[in-house]
Amino acid sequence: MATSALNLSTRTELDATLRAFAASPSVARSLTSFSVAIGITQHTERLSDDELVDFLVQCPQLRVFLLQRWRFLELNAHNVDRLVEHHTFQHLLHFTIGWTGNLKVSSMFRLLSVMPSLRSLHFGCVMDDVSEMANFSSVIPTPACRLKELEVSDDRGVNFLHYAHLLSNSHDTLESARLSWIDGLDVPVEEAIVEALARCTRLRSLESIGNGISTARLIAACPRLECLSVAQPPTEEEIGALSGDARGLRELRFVRIYYADADLDVVWDDLKDALALLPSIRILRLVFSGDLSRRSPSCYADAVTECAKRRIHLSTSKEGYIWF
């Protein structure tokens, strides 16, 4: 049990861990990474917010907190006060709100308001309970964190709108934004994202995958881009949205690992044409499932030749991407 990282997937594991903490409090105090994935099937397996906070207040050295699977919708004010009293999130650097559960947006902002050291936030399933509030910004606490990395994956159609409030303290710190599966139909999500990102003066890396919002507008909001990640070959409109003559863009990531038709043969000609319009590119990263040299041997060989000719480093690393 003496470990700095802990992953809990059942109530049995949680109960055993709490007993170990009671027997040796130093174990809890040494914990730096905690992932919880409890609460999918039987009612007895569900984890309440009270139980989660009972656990968290014993771990003052947490640096990473992954809320992957859960069943409660919110943390009440008393539990947030307990987290503050025990300085639970004083040193937290990374927080994930996963994709199998739901958490009210108001609770997410309450948590972010007590995470002053947070630098990386990933979130998926949140429930908007604040859009209809009058004087939203004066009612919901402002995040204490100054984020360097934001990742939003909205394959549940949440259509989170509150990017301006979320990034209000990160205008001079945010360096990377990864946005995927954001529909944006019938709601002004695109405007909310573009306006918020345009205020972030240090944003260097942008990812736009599977979105219903304009990638060109996202690019235009980020004039200092050095790395662009997309799932379709960049169009002339998107290339034209790059600042100046696109000389600042050094890395292009082409991410098809989540698509069924993930063969280079389908897209290579268009991707090759895009590279011709991006002379500053020095790294091309092809993120596909499987081995590209076997799945698309002819196109992969051409990619190797083309990159060598243009003095581009070709990579097929999947690091940072979940491959199912």
Give per-10-residue mean pLDDT for the chain (324 aa): 74 86 90 81 66 91 89 85 94 89 87 97 87 73 96 83 95 97 82 96 96 94 96 94 81 89 88 95 94 93 97 95 63
pTM: 0.92
* Phi and psi based region of residue 146 (left: phi greater than 0; alpha: psi -120 to 50; beta: remaining): beta
Q: What is the per-residue pLDDT for 77?
A: 87
pLDDT of residue 2: 41
Give the residue extent of every domain in the chain. Answer: 56-63+84-315
Residue type for position 322:
I
pLDDT for 214:
94
CA distances from 232 to 162, 270, 279 (A): 27, 9, 19
The tokens for 150 are 């934001």
Q: How far is C-alpha 271 from the geometric centre of its chain's CA atoms?
A: 26
208: helix, coil or strand?
strand
What is the Cβ-side half-sphere exposure of residue 174, based on CA atoms within 13 angstroms?
25
CATH architecture of 56-63+84-315: Alpha-Beta Horseshoe (3.80)
66-to-32, 47, 51, 94 alpha-carbon distances in Å? 11, 14, 16, 8
